[in-house]
Amino acid sequence: MMPDEVPLTETNTAGRGSRELIVRASADDRREWLADAPIVAALARRHIVHVGVADARHPYKVVRRDLSGTFLMACCEGAGRVWLDGRWQRFSEGQACVAPPHAVHAYGSIPGQRWEFVWVRYQEPAGRRPIVAASSPLLVAFEGRPLRAAVVGLFHEAGGAGEAAQLDRWVELIEAYVRGFTHPWRKDDRLHRLWETVAADLAAEWSVEKLAREVGLSSQQLRRLCVQQLGRKPAEQLAWLRVRQAAALLANGREKIETVARAVGYRSAFTFSKTFRRFTGSRPSEYRAT
């Protein structure tokens, strides 16, 4: 596994021999790597800007410092790595991960390993809640090959003489697979209610004990449920929510960093900066400057 790289630098690198099949929603995005992608307007009606399948070869790597919309990806074969919770983690066949808006999103190949994955990139309009809720898991087991088949089907349909109704069915199928990943984690609705409550009041002085009382659980029960369903402990989930909101405030406003820190529940600017850097790879001031 490659060592952590801090800070992460915005990049889009395709390794020699890498191949991508991409479908986009419109011609408005003129980035070079999207130039030859067929256009399917049905994606835009569901707030999807592009979908694709990649057969990646090292040194394939993508880093987005301020992701403007939700990004879901599923590993279909082999293994790569993805930046989650402030560190690079192995991303293997049978797993999916999701990055919410205003998160640092980075992923890349591992030397000597083949890696095939599928992705769906959303761009939620202002005022619309993203498909990822406060209690969504970021890396869980998921069979991505059916989603890959749907994206490949859409690509070939769009590249031929596909009728609008046929293209729309492919897009509906893609979104159904995405929803299948983002919704079933609600095995215990208490967690969903808890983290939505916390996300609405991040400035409050939340402790593990207070979080547990909020849903009528012991601290130990809450820890166990969070690890099972979210892959992280309650304190880690709280920190992640706070950093996610802080990143959005830094990207969209001009408030002082100390003001942002207090708005998301940090009384110490030093603690805020340290936690922010752990999750994003950069200090708040560096993040705002990008």
Q: Domain holding 151: CATH number?
A: 2.60.120.280
Predicted pLDDT at 65: 79
pLDDT tens digits, residue range 203-228? Answer: 999 999 999 999 999 999 999 988 88
Predicted pLDDT at 193: 87
Domain count, the chain: 2
Cα–chain center distance at 110: 20
Dist CA 203 CA 287 (whole Å): 21
Same structural domain, 85 and 194: no
Dist CA 186 CA 192 (whole Å): 7
Same structural domain, 175 and 40: yes
Predicted pLDDT at 50: 97
pLDDT tens digits, residue range 48-82? Answer: 999 999 999 999 999 987 788 899 999 999 999 99
Q: Tell me what the pLDDT averaged over the chain comes to.
A: 88
Regions of the chain where pLDDT drops below 70: 1-7, 133-137, 183-188, 289-290
Same structural domain, 193 and 175: no
Dist CA 115 CA 93 (whole Å): 9
pLDDT tens digits, residue range 88-104? Answer: 999 999 999 988 887 77
Helix ranges, the chain (H): 41-45, 145-159, 164-182, 189-200, 208-214, 219-230, 234-252, 257-263, 269-280, 284-289
Residue 268 lies in a domain: yes
The two tokens of residue 217 are 């659980």
Going by C-alpha positions, the residue among 4, 150, 13 that lies closest to residue 86 is 4
Give the domain extent around 116: 11-182
Predicted pLDDT at 248: 84
Predicted pLDDT at 136: 67
Upper half-sphere CA count for residue 216 (Cβ side, 13 Å) = 4
Residue 193 lies in a domain: yes
